[in-house]
Amino acid sequence: MEHRDSGVAAAYQVRPISTQEHTRFLADHKTASFLQNPRWPAVKKEWQAQSLGVFESGSGSDASPVAAALVLFRRLPIPAAVPLLGGRKLAYMAEGPVMDPAAADLEQLLPPLIDHLKSSGAFLIRMGLPSVLRRWEAKEVRRALAAGENTSIEELEELEVDPAGAAQARQWQEQLRSLGFKAPAPSTDFEAGQPQFQARIPLTDPSGAQLPIDEVLARMDQSSRRQTKKSTRSELTVSVGAESDLQAWHTLYSETAERDDFTGRPLSYFQDMYRELNASPLSECTLYLAHFEDQLLAAAIYVRQGEFAWYVYGASSAQERKRYAPRALQLRQIEDSLAAGCQFYDLGGLSPSLDPEYPLAGLTRFKTTMGADVVQTLGEWDYEVNPLLAKAFNLYMSRR
Residues 76-125: tens digit of each pLDDT: 777 665 656 667 899 999 999 999 988 778 999 999 999 999 999 999 99
Average of per-residue pLDDT across 263-280: 97
What is the reported pLDDT for 63?
86
175-230: per-residue pLDDT in tens?
Answer: 999 999 999 988 887 766 899 999 999 999 988 999 999 999 999 999 999 999 99
Q: Residue 4: its pLDDT value, please?
A: 47
For residues 303-322, give the mean pLDDT. Answer: 97
What pLDDT was estimated at residue 89?
A: 93
Beta strand pairing call for 2-5 and 8-16 = antiparallel
Confidence at residue 394, expressed as pLDDT on a 0 to 100 scale: 78
Q: Which long-range contacts (CB under 8 A, 24 or more apart) does 171-177 make?
A: 172/104, 172/106, 172/129, 172/131, 172/378, 173/133, 173/378, 175/105, 175/106, 175/107, 175/110, 176/106, 176/129, 176/378, 176/381
Spatial separation of the C-alpha atoms in residues 376 and 363, rounded to whole Å = 16
* pLDDT confidence of residue 79: 66
Radius of gyration (C-alpha) of the chain in whole angstroms:
22
Question: What pLDDT does 165 receive?
Answer: 84
The structure's pTM equals: 0.92
* Strand partners of residue 134: 376
CA distance 45 to 43: 6
CA 132/CA 102 separation, integer angstroms: 14
pLDDT at position 47 is: 95
First to last CA, the chain: 35
148: left (phi over 0), alpha (psi -120 to 50) or beta: left
pLDDT score at 97 = 97
**Predicted pLDDT at 76:** 77
Q: At 110, is the secondary structure helix, strand, or coil?
A: helix
Q: What is the mean pLDDT of residues 314-329?
A: 97
Cα torsion 54, 16, 276, 25: sign: negative
Mean pLDDT, the chain, integer: 92
Instruction: Write down the H helix ranges in the chain.
Output: 19-27, 106-119, 138-147, 163-178, 213-217, 222-231, 246-260, 267-279, 325-339, 361-369, 387-398
- Taking the CA atoms of residue 153, residue 159, residue 161 and residue 162 in that order, the dihedral angle to the nearest 10 degrees is 50
**8 Å CB contact between 188 and 353:** yes
Closest CA to 10 of 69, 66, 90: 66
> What are the structural domains, with CATH classification, of the chain?
2-128+380-398 (3.40.630.30), 133-159+187-377 (3.40.630.30)
**Weakest mean pLDDT among 36-45, 101-110, 292-301:** 101-110
pLDDT at residue 102, rounded to an integer: 80
CA distance 384 to 224: 45
> Cα-flanking dihedrals φ and ψ of residue 304, to 5°?
-130, 135
Q: Which residues of 151-161 are buried (b: 16+ CB within 10 A; e: fewer)?
A: eebeebebeee
Asked if residue 5 has pLDDT above 70, the reply is: no
148 versus 83: the higher-pLDDT residue is 148
Is the pLDDT higher at 75 or at 364?
364
Confidence of residue 8 (pLDDT cuts 50, 70, 90): very low
SS3 152: strand
CA distance 241 to 254: 18
